[in-house]
Structure 1
Amino acid sequence: MLRSFTKKNFIVGAVLTAIVAIVIGFKYFSDQAKEGSNMKLLSPQAFKSYQSLEGVINIHHWQNKWGTNVYFVRAPELPIVDVRVIFDAGSARNQNAIPLAYFSNFLLNHGTAAHNADKIAAEFEMLGAQYSAGAYRDMAFVNIRSLSEAKYLDKAIALYADVISKPQYDEASLSREKQNAISMLKLQAQTPQSIGEKAFFEALYPENTYAYWELGDEKSIQKIKPKDLNLFHQNFYVQNNAAVIIVGDVSLENANAISEQVLEGLPAGQKAPTLASVKMPIKQIEKKIKFSSTQTHIMYGMPVLKRQDPDYYSLVVGNHILGGNSQNNRVFDTVRGKHGLAYSAYSYFQPMAEAGPFMMVCQTRAEEAARAKGLLESLLKDYIAHGPTEDELAEAKQNLLGGYPLLFDSNSNIASQLSILGFYDLPLDYFNQYQNNVDKVTTASIKDAFARRIDLKKMVTVMVGEST
């Protein structure tokens, strides 16, 4: 009986030992496989270019093996990852006003060598990934948002990389989008704001590519051939003309791997040349455009502000008082509050790589257009002469600093801010220094900056409406 029991226990024990050994062995080799996989992921901390900075957001920055700048913020709170590749490939890179920047960017996901447009859309949808792209005057961008779980993220990034690097600009897709773009132009031609903005930029930048309208015109659209888009892509969608922004629930090592994968199919290429400097107007320009409307749209301004500009904070804080604060500003309070001439009246700076515009804008009844324009002029003249009050400045600083964290309240907002940082080559501590730079602004510095940078004798005015 004892022998039988002992033998049975021996057999059971041997089986259990074997099972345990198999489990342990499986776990060991599984762990080794994971470690082997992780070993393939190179940490950017090993790169000489690597920097990290804590503060408003915790930023990691390095240059990957392609020499491309990468900006990464780890955000593990949600299981998602936002990846944005930005290129110096905005409409300012168009030649002869032909809208290659728009079409080359828009048609990226309309087919590659491996996937047609329907398959691309279906695969992104199946993976729960969100794709988007766009082109501004300075910058073009391509975004993907994916779940961070590897079974979704790996496939989404692979497809995203294929879209960026291997677009097939076929005649059929181009022809369809030409018709869509022409339809959009016709719609814009019925919108006084679009008519005014187009005319304003043409008057503001007569010798600069900033004058080019994103969609061009019907004649320039019809000139585009697939070979033109391929050439634009080859010249501007290259590793040395890009930066990669990653925000989300991935490790530093994975972020580096993603940054390399999304650019792997692109040529090294060259960084786009510096844009031509903006020539300032030599005299006042006024352009009146007849348009059947009860409202007249007025735009009044001149080229002023670069992103990296020593007067940036004095001008931006000063404008918050003049016409930028949606709650309380001089332009709105005077044009709307005191005189009842407009529902909308404001001013803003649009900083760009070269001198972007300062604009005062309002929409008013056609019969009051001349009076409203006179108010804008007198408000600006008085502001240049006297500047803001100390109370106005204190309120503006409180408003700007209080709202600053909202610029970083989501992954997509963080990615947008990092895009500005990366594209305009701003210092890594730019966000951390924001409060200090705003605090440094004085009423005297605002008055001085406005007096030096805005010349009332060189202002451009565009008016669209019946009263013109």
Structure 2
Amino acid sequence: AVNLMTGLIEEGAGDMDARAFARAQESLAASFSFGAGDDSVSVSAQFLTENRDRAIDLLRTALHRPRFDQDALERVRAQVMSGLMSDAKDPGTIAGQTFAKIAYGDHPYGSDGKGTLQSVAALSREDIVAAHRGVFARDRLYVGAVGDITAEELGMMLDDLLSGLPATGAPFPGKADVTIPGGVRVVEFDTPQSVAVFGQKGIERHDDDFFAAYVMNQILGAGGFESRLMQEVREKRGLTYGVYSYLVPRDLAAVYMGNVASANDRIAEAISVIRDEWARMAAGGVTEKELEDAKTYLTGAYPLRFDGNSRIAGILVGMQMDELPIDYIATRNDKVNAVTLADIRRVAAELLDPEGLLFVVVGRPESLESTQTN
């Protein structure tokens, strides 16, 4: 319901239908976007300073008085269902959804936030209204603002924009009980190339060892062509065009994941090499050169994230949601540079579990059978 609701907010508000609302945005050179993710609903607004008051009035109307007209509901419902039908034919999406169901079970993380064809078809306008009321509440708001505005002006603007929203929203779900059995789960799919999503339990964002794990992963699988996985799986053996790993520290669970695609007759070898590299990192850590190269890249690339007002505002919101200190931007590179070889060796040994890696493979892989059936 939340996903469909966010798609409907721009489809009319107050006395404006979808076309009138779009014309109002255009007349102000304003741009609004609404989206739903695993842990949050996002609202983005960009507008000229000279049009700020009128743009905020329009945004307030959208947030407080969305119309959720039945014709708009049916139109957006059809779009969502079309996307779901496309997802059902996409090996990467199938792999990710299967992995999530195994890892998270009945927790909300275990199901697609976009819903299913059956659940989306059954949603009523009342469901959409309830989702709106449950999400847009003052007890869960984080704001980042960048531009020609003072803190005092922003405060007054937010008072006007957000006053009248419910004080509290729907209850949050509890922590996810992550269960990732090692092994392989094969999902048969008629395609010449198998797609695999793999993962294990991860590390939380507030863990003291997070930055050591972050730098380690840059070397193992996040560093593009220089990463160990890319070197071993692609460059040396030609098994794939790309293989990556990434930390996923969500609010209610942390996992460590990756993905790879390979020909059906070679995916088994790619999986074997990935598991071997997982084990090699766990046993031996990294070299001094690998560590220095990773630090140079991570610290040098960080300022490039701040290349526009929208991205900066997003970073400010992310800092609040992750409960990071106000000086995080100034100290983040210091935390990267403080990571030592010993830190990575210790964290790799504690975190990496090569035998506990679960590979969900979608395709017709040769010499590979499911060891997990749950």
TM-score between both structures, scaled by the size of structure 1 = 0.75
Alignment counterpart, residue 288 of structure 1, candidates 182, 186, 206: 186
State the Cα distance separating 1:278 from its structure 2 match.
2.7
Residue 299 (1) aligns with residue 200 (2): no
Identity across aligned pairs (percent)?
Answer: 29
Q: Provide, for residues 17-73 of structure 1, a one-character-per-residue CA deviation record: whole Å limited to 9, x for no partner.
A: xxxxxxxxxxxxxxxxxxxxxxxxxxxxxxxxxxxxxxxxxxxxxxxxxxxxxxxxx
State the Cα distance separating 1:270 from its structure 2 match.
4.8
Runs (4+) of structure 1 moved beyond 3 Å? 270-273
Q: Provide, for residues 112-168 of structure 1, a one-character-per-residue CA deviation record: whole Å limited to 9, x for no partner.
A: 23322111111001111111111110111111100001xx21111100111112222
Structure 1 distance, partners of 2:144, 2:84, is: 32
Aligned residue number for residue 143 of structure 1: 44
Q: Provide, for residues 331-372 of structure 1, a one-character-per-residue CA deviation record: whole Å limited to 9, x for no partner.
A: 000000110111111111122112232112111111101111
Residue 171 (1) aligns with residue 171 (2): no
Aligned residue number for residue 364 of structure 1: 262
Structure 2 distance, partners of 1:270, 1:279, is: 24
State the Cα distance separating 1:264 from its structure 2 match.
1.9
Structure 2 distance, partners of 1:331, 1:146, is: 43
Spell out the pairing of 1:66-465 with structure 2 (5 A cutoff): 100-149=1-50, 152-270=51-169, 272-273=171-172, 275-281=173-179, 283-465=181-363
State the Cα distance separating 1:309 from its structure 2 match.
2.3
Structure 1 distance, partners of 2:351, 2:227, is: 20
- When residues 179 and 199 of structure 1 are mapped into structure 2, their CA distance, relative to the original with a 3 A threshold, is same
- When residues 112 and 282 of structure 1 are mapped into structure 2, their CA distance, relative to the original with a 3 A threshold, is closer
Moved more, 164-173 or 175-184: 164-173
Rg comparison, structure with higher value: 1
Q: Provide, for residues 232-286 of structure 1, a one-character-per-residue CA deviation record: whole Å limited to 9, x for no partner.
A: 221221111111211111222221122222212312225854x422323263252
Moved more, 230-239 or 404-413: 230-239
Give the RMSD, CA atoms, in angstroms: 1.6
Structure 2 distance, partners of 1:391, 1:299, is: 29
Structure 1 distance, partners of 2:264, 2:190, is: 10
Q: Provide, for residues 290-316 of structure 1, a one-character-per-residue CA deviation record: whole Å limited to 9, x for no partner.
A: 222221111110231333222210111
Amino acid at match of 1:223: A
Provide the aligned length of Structure 1 versus Structure 2.
366
Structure 2 distance, partners of 1:115, 1:107, is: 13
- When residues 114 and 309 of structure 1 are mapped into structure 2, their CA distance, relative to the original with a 3 A threshold, is farther
TM-score between both structures, scaled by the size of structure 2 = 0.93
- Unaligned regions of 5+ residues in structure 2, if any? 369-374
Matched-pair contact (CA < 8 Å) for 1:289–1:465: yes
Amino acid at match of 2:18: A
